[in-house]
Amino acid sequence: MTSPSERGRRPLRVGNCSGFYGDRASAMADMARAGGIDVLTGDYLAEVTMLILGKARAKDGTKGFATTFLQHLDAALEHLVANRIRLVVNAGGLNPAGLATATRELIARHGHDLRVSHIEGDDVFGSLDGLRQAGHCLPHLTSGQPLSDWPHQPLTANAYLGGFGITRALHEGADVVVTGRVTDASLVVGPAAWWWDWTPDDHDALAGAVAAGHVIECGPQATGGNFSGFCSVPDLVEPGFPIAEIAADGSSVITKNPGTGGVVTQDTVTAQLLYEIGEPAYLNPDVTAHLDTATLTDVGEDRVRISGVRGSVPASTTKVAITGVGGWTNSAILALTGTDLDAKAALVERFVHRYAEAARGLDAVAVERIGQAQPDPDTQNAGTELLRITVQGTQQAAGRAFSSRVVELALSSYPGLYSLGPPQPGSAFGVYWPALLDQRMLQHAVHHYDGTTEIIAPGNPDGAGGEARPQAAALAPTVPAPRADELVFAPLGEIVHARSGDKGGDANLGVWVRDRAAWDWLRSTLTIDELRRLLPETRALEISRHELPNLGAVNFLVRGLLGTGATSTLRLDSQAKALGEWLRSRSIKVPRSLVGS
């Protein structure tokens, strides 16, 4: 592992090898083989993942962790040892102790003797009844309703922990640290605080590490993946995974290994800074990082410095993510080809609504047209649109009974009807309940490799600083002097980049200018009202808007676009991944001088 004499004498180099449960299987081995890093991190836990792990744990109490981690480690272990790289992952999911044990066994089979520690205290599933009896009603973050009003049985409940448990594990000599639910950025904050001996009061340094962690947590999204400027990214077939070089003051340089695909530019870093955030005051259990204070600077090929990030005292509360099974869902996709497409779709909609009225236990129905057939098409596919029907309810209503009724349409509906794929039996869908809990209610525990246990103090031990709840957003931007250029219609994407994603049932949409010359125009033009005009689906929804001038960016949070969350929404794009690309495709009046900027 890294020599003790190096710690604190040069920037920490921390890499990422996983952005979600299912990311590139070779990434851990690739990063370990390349070497040149002190710590390798892996993020396996999206909000959706906790439900998957909860179902696995319900079937087998020894499960509940990301099993693919062991496969990744098996391929990477010899390189990790040879290059003296420590490993920090949240793959423990709902069973960090179980994964730590399996990790020790795998390491022993390879003939090595690495020190494996694990962290617990995030799992409050077994404490829910006690918390409610003690007066903690766990109100929903958006609606304010108490958890007792939720008609579903919780399957998992996990609070977001900070990074100082990881710090202590590394300080006591761990080579591998397995965690459950810590914030994504904590996987980097913990090692950085260990490397530089930061204390909980080093708010600016911690905030800088949060920014670096937020950028690299999603793997190749920082190196050109899911980037609206992808056409200019070389070798995007397999972009490299990112590395953060973190200095003593918390500033960092984002980079990647030489010879790997993708790029690191101010735009790819901005994209990830804006991903899945709300207001610029980015809440973490150890610090509140003010992302609107971040400054980006090019410092070489594939090297971007993040500096100036200010931090403040963390909130006294942290988020608790509760999941459960909401019922059953099923869907069918039918093809509409040729002429009279509106009439064909309307006929199916009448059938669906008649089924919904007659079926018992059906709670929700959605019928969506996908695509637009070309006039006078020279291929059948070019003249075809898709019709997606989705239902939710009890297993009987949304299961095989629904599929059977759709099959019955084959000979009795519009001409040219065919379905994409065989009939399905339906599947269970998840529901999501975000709440807050005082950090002092948690038992953040480090189980060191030597069998001892250490309790970590909360990030806000005095309980001051308020709750982890976003502040009210400014509804109107500052309006600069208007430009005198001739206005022309152009796709918004000619001027801006965008990245979007999910935050529970809400959608985050970050937009930033391709050229800083367009910043005044963007901030005065892309108001909440204009966003609603461009994206009609958002017109009836609450939207907050935040400016990040240092990044030339505006961030929107669209409340309720995804219903109650990605696992239960009827929306085709269930995680709002393409919301930004839809916005960029919309045409708008722009100054001619900015087109193509």
Tell whether the model's pLDDT for residue 480 goes beyond 70: no
Domain extent for 553: 487-594
Residue 538 lies in a domain: yes
In this predicted structure, the answer to whether residue 466 has a pLDDT above a threshold of 80 is no
Count Cα atoms within 13 angstroms, Cβ side, for 336.
23
pTM given for the model: 0.94
In a domain, 237, yes or no: yes
Q: Is there a single domain that holds both residue 372 and residue 495?
A: no
Average pLDDT over residues 229-246: 96
**Sequential DSSP letters for 273-321:** HTTT--SSEEE-SS-EEEGGG-EEEEEETTEEEEE--EEEPPPSEEEEE
224 lies in the same domain as 348: no
Please check whether residue 53 lies inside any domain of the structure: yes
The total of structural domains in the chain comes to 3
Statement to judge: residues 184 and 298 lie in one domain? yes
Q: Do 273 and 334 fall into the same domain?
A: no
Q: Which two tokens stand for residue 114?
A: 């690495």
Sign for the pseudo-dihedral over CA of 435, 437, 443, 449: positive
The pLDDT of residue 463 is above 80: no
Lowest mean pLDDT among 2-16, 113-127, 440-454, 581-595: 2-16
Say if CB 309 and CB 207 are below 8 A apart.
yes
- 268: amino acid identity, one letter: T
**112 and 199, same domain (yes or no):** yes
User: Would you say residue 82 lies in a domain?
Assistant: yes
What DSSP character marks residue 91? T
Q: Which of 386, 410, 431 is where one domain is finished?
A: 431
Handedness of CA 67, 187, 156, 563 (dihedral sign): negative
Give, for 553, the enclosing helix (H) or strand (E). Answer: strand 553-558
Cα–Cα distances (Å) from 597 to 481, 491, 515, 565, in that order, read 20, 12, 6, 36
Q: What is the pLDDT of residue 481?
A: 45
Is 492 a member of any domain? Answer: yes
pLDDT at 473: 42
Q: CA-based angle 184:187:190, to the nearest 5? A: 130
How would you class 405 by CB atoms within 10 Å of its CB: exposed for 0-12, middle for 13-18, buried for 19 or more?
Answer: middle
For the segment 78-102, the average pLDDT, to the nearest whole number, is: 98
The answer to whether the Cα torsion of 234, 235, 237, 239 is positive or negative is: negative
Rounded to whole angstroms, the Cα distance separating 15 from 36 reads: 9
CB 48 within 8 A of CB 20: no
Phi-psi region of 565 (alpha: psi -120 to 50; beta: other; left: phi over 0): left
Q: Residue 327: is its pLDDT beyond 60?
A: yes
Shared domain check, 106 and 57: yes
Q: List beta partners, residue 506.
A: 503
The pair of three-digit structure tokens given for residue 526, joined into one six-digit string: 């892309």
Edge-to-edge order in the sheet of strand 496-503: 496-503, 506-513, 553-558, 543-548
Average pLDDT of span 410-422: 96
Over range 165-174, report the average pLDDT. Answer: 99
With 0-12 / 13-18 / 19 or more C-beta atoms within 10 angstroms meaning exposed / middle / buried, residue 596 is exposed
Same domain, 334 and 419: yes
CATH classification at residue 364: 3.30.70.1130
* Within-domain flag for 98: yes
Backbone torsions φ then ψ of 410, nearest 5 degrees: -50, -40
Structure token digits, residue 567? 């696992």
pLDDT at 468: 52
Q: Is residue 72 part of a domain?
A: yes
23 has a pLDDT exceeding 50? yes
Mean pLDDT of 284-289: 98
Task: Say which residues have a Cβ less than 8 Å from residue 211's Cβ, sequence separation at least 6.
Answer: 185, 252, 273, 282, 289, 291, 294, 306, 309
Span 413-417, average pLDDT: 98
Same-domain status, 334 and 259:
no
516 and 564 within one domain: yes
pLDDT for 477 equals 47
Is 287 found in the same domain as 345?
no
Do 360 and 426 share a domain, yes or no?
yes
Q: What is the mean pLDDT of the chain?
A: 94
HEC states along 143-161? CCCCHHHCCCCEEEEEECE
Q: Is the pLDDT score of 516 beyond 90? A: no
Is 471 a residue whose pLDDT tops 80?
A: no
Q: What is the mean pLDDT of residues 368-381?
A: 97
Residues 303 and 177 in one domain: yes
Does residue 146 lie in a domain region? no
